[in-house]
Chain A
Amino acid sequence: MTDPLFEFLCRMGDNTLVLGHRVSEWCGVAPVLEEDIALANTALDLIGQTTLWLNLAGEVEGKGRDADALAFRRDVWEFRNVLLVEQPNGDFGQTMMRQFLFDLWHKGMLTALQNSSHDQIAAIAQKSLKEVTYHLERTTDTVIGLGDGTEESHDRMQKALVRLYPFVGEMFVSDDVDAAMVAEGIAPDPAQLRADFDATLDAVLTDATLDKPTSDFAHKGGKSGKRHSEHLGHMLSQMQWLQRAYPDATW
């Protein structure tokens, strides 16, 4: 197994990288100008956080790779993001539902990481948490507003939830990397974040008049890198093509 700390940092950085890129796909085509700006700002925060996580991952790895090298020179199977974040944007409702589900997990994770035994991780978490708290405020309001909105918006949010809920479970799966992080006091056991997540999720879905799917079936394989969905490769081919065609290009 590769260094668990490197793996863990790639998971954090790849989540924010892949979601950040996905959200940036809305730039210029969001339903209204205010939402366009909000989405672009959210993407910017996530990409900024990516730089912090992946630079640290590169330092820990010690092979001279920085955030750019890790973002642009790895192929699909080396990515460690959860499957949820690589799912396509769909309509605006699906994008906001995906963001809400991720923000809720993200906030719980970062809150715990503020007390990490690893100073740099604690510092990145403290910085990111301020931004993510703000993201969650917005996505919570939006999920409730659209869920408890018109018949059309309600139906779309319900469809989005049904489609994305099977990707929630993976965020809370614990494996050997997590166990190593727990043993060193670096990161929490993701399974222990689930109860708080569920409590808030249920409350928000009630306000949004949305029904949580009853099945807890969870797609897995993104965080371990064993099996990404087909969507990630397509996204990377767009995100990475310039650095792959013209390595080390500058302008």
Chain B
Amino acid sequence: MVTDQPTTETVWQWLDAVPDPEIPVISLIDLGIIRDVAWVGDTLEVTVTPTYSGCPATRIINLDIETALRDRGVDKIRLKTRLSPAWTTDWLTDRGKQRLEDYGIAPPQPAGGPQHCPLCKSHDVERISQFGSTPCKAQWRCRSCLEPFDYFKCI
């Protein structure tokens, strides 16, 4: 056993400091896309699941993970992609949902639409478009404060 290997718990903490490149207020851990961290011999294996299959942020995320680990002295890294089970917004952490809301993005709700306007908290909201600025978001509008806002789609 090599003694200078950081524990997987430490690695999880490091990854919690890596922001999502598109929505930097939440970390990769908040997003729920890191599925496993394990040492295989002297190689650190990180298993990542994509949010949407075509999301361009996926490659940046992989690069950010590698950079974060290399900066902390881990040289042998293997990134694995896991498709199944498919990513779901159920894996967003509660802290992540709160951070989204504070940032002005309505967090996903099982009912399929935002609970309320993330800005003024009014329930009088309407959908503008099923899609938004990134694959994971849709565009909504508040009828009370009239502000448009992003809703993190529930999948």
Interface residues of A, Cβ cutoff 8 Å to B = 34-35, 37-38, 40-42, 44-49, 51-52, 119-120, 122-124, 126-128, 130-131, 134, 137-138
Contacts and interface: CB of A to CB of B under 8 A. Distances in A.
Given A46-B54, A48-B52, 6 more contacts: A45-B53, A52-B83, A123-B83, A123-B84, A124-B83, A130-B155
A236 B79 CA distance: 33
- From B52, B53, B128, B155, name the one whose CB has the most chain A CB atoms within 10 angstroms: B53
Nearest to A135: B130
Contacts of A44: 52, 54-56, 135
Nearest to B87: A127
Interface of B: 50, 52-56, 83-88, 128-133, 135, 139, 153, 155
A49 B84 CA distance: 14
A48 B133 contact: no
A137 B130 CA distance: 9
B153 to A, nearest CB: 7
Contacts of A34: 128-129, 131, 139
A49 B54 contact: yes
Contacts of B88: 130
Nearest to B130: A138
16 contacts: A35-B129, A37-B133, A38-B131, A44-B54, A48-B50, A48-B52, A52-B83, A123-B84, A127-B83, A127-B87, A128-B53, A130-B86, A131-B52, A131-B155, A138-B130, A138-B131
Contacts of B52: 44-45, 48, 131
A128 B130 CA distance: 17
Contact of A41 (B86, B128, B131, B155): B131
Contacts of B84: 119, 122-123, 126-127
A48 B55 contact: yes
A45 B135 contact: yes
Given A44-B56, A48-B55, A38 B129 contact: yes
- From B50, B84, B128, B153, name the one whose CB has the most chain A CB atoms within 10 angstroms: B84
B54 A37 contact: no
- From A37, A41, A52, name the one whose CB has the most chain B CB atoms within 10 angstroms: A41
- From A35, A40, A46, A131, name the one whose CB has the most chain B CB atoms within 10 angstroms: A131
A46 B132 CA distance: 16
B83 A134 contact: no
Nearest to B54: A48
Nearest to A48: B54
Nearest to B136: A41
A95 to B, nearest CB: 15
Nearest to A20: B54
B135 A41 contact: yes
Contacts of B153: 134
Contacts of A123: 83-84, 86
A38 B130 contact: yes
The 6 closest A-B CB pairs, nearest first, are A48-B54, A48-B53, A123-B84, A34-B129, A44-B54, A123-B83
A126 B83 contact: yes
A34 B130 CA distance: 9
A137 B155 CA distance: 13
Contacts of B130: 38, 134, 137-138
A127 B128 contact: no
Nearest to A41: B131
Nearest to A138: B130
Nearest to A32: B129
Contacts of A35: 129
Contacts of B86: 123, 126-127, 130
A38 B129 CA distance: 7
Contacts of A52: 53, 83
